[in-house]
């Protein structure tokens, strides 16, 4: 056990991942939060990723329980390019599905879905 850990630690320190390397853009956090229930209907969905994005090739769709789109317009990037946001119609109570696709600046594609609920 000690041998294994010692070699792993030394290796990690020797060849630590260099800062600045790009990677797949993972969803770091979202507003509304993934899986959350909010009391007030949100006006927009904001997604923050672990990497900078190409907003023109990234998208967010938000759908209600019947599958109808409830976003208005296209997703836009934020000032630091790790954020993607889309404005929403006035949302009645219900569960909504966020479907996102992201292209990081190094051309890695990722995608994901999650839900949030607007309570009564």
Partner 1 sequence: MSSRIVRRGLIWAAAMSAAIGAASAHEIVGNRMFPATLTIDDPGVADELALPTVSVTKTGDDPSVRQTDVSFEYAKRITEDFGVSFGTAWTHLGAPGGPTGTGASGFQNIEGALKYRLYKNPAHEFVLSAGLEIEFGASGAAGVGAEPVTSYEPAIFFGKGFGDLPASINWARPFAVTGAVGYSIPASSQTVSFDPDSGDIDTELNPKVLSWGGSLQYSMPYLKSSVVDLGLPDFVNRLIPIVEFSMETPVENTLTSDTVTTGTISPGILYIGDTYQVGVEALIPVNRESGSGVGVIGQLHFFLDDLLPNTLGRPIFGHGVSMKGG
Q: Which residues in this chain contact partner 1 in the complex, by CB under 8 A?
A: 1, 3-5, 7-8, 11-12, 15, 17-18, 21-24, 26-27, 29-30, 33-36, 50-51, 57, 59, 101, 103, 106-115
Task: CB nearer to partner 1: give 5 or 90.
Answer: 5
d(CA 120, CA 38) in angstroms, rounded, equals 9
Minimum distance from residue 52 beta carbon to partner 1 (Å): 13
Q: How far is the CB of 33 from partner 1 (least distance, A)?
A: 5
CA distances (Å), 39 to each of 22, 32, 113, 119, in order? 37, 11, 21, 5
To partner 1, the closest distance from the beta carbon of 104 in angstroms equals: 9
**Residue 73: closest CA among 58, 89, 90:** 89
User: Closest CB to partner 1 among 16 and 68?
Assistant: 16
Cβ at position 60, least distance to partner 1 in Å: 13
CA distance 103 to 120: 35
Is the peptide bond preceding residue 32 cis, with omega within 30 degrees of 0? Answer: yes
CB 63 within 8 A of CB 45: no
90 or 118: whose CB is closer to partner 1?
A: 118
């Amino acid at each position: 056990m000690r041998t294994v850990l010692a070699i792993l630690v030394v290796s990690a320190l020797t060849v630590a991942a260099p800062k600045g390397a790009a990677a797949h853009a993972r969803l770091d956090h979202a507003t509304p939060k993934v899986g959350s229930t909010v009391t007030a209907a949100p006006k927009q969905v904001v997604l923050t990723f672990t990497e900078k994005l190409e907003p023109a090739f990234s998208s967010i769709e938000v759908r209600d329980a019947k599958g109808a789109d409830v976003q208005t317009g296209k997703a836009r990037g934020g000032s630091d390019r790790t954020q993607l946001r889309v404005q929403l119609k006035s949302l009645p109570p219900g569960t909504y599905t966020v479907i996102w696709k992201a292209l990081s600046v190094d051309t890695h594609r990722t995608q994901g879905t999650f839900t949030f609920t607007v309570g009564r």
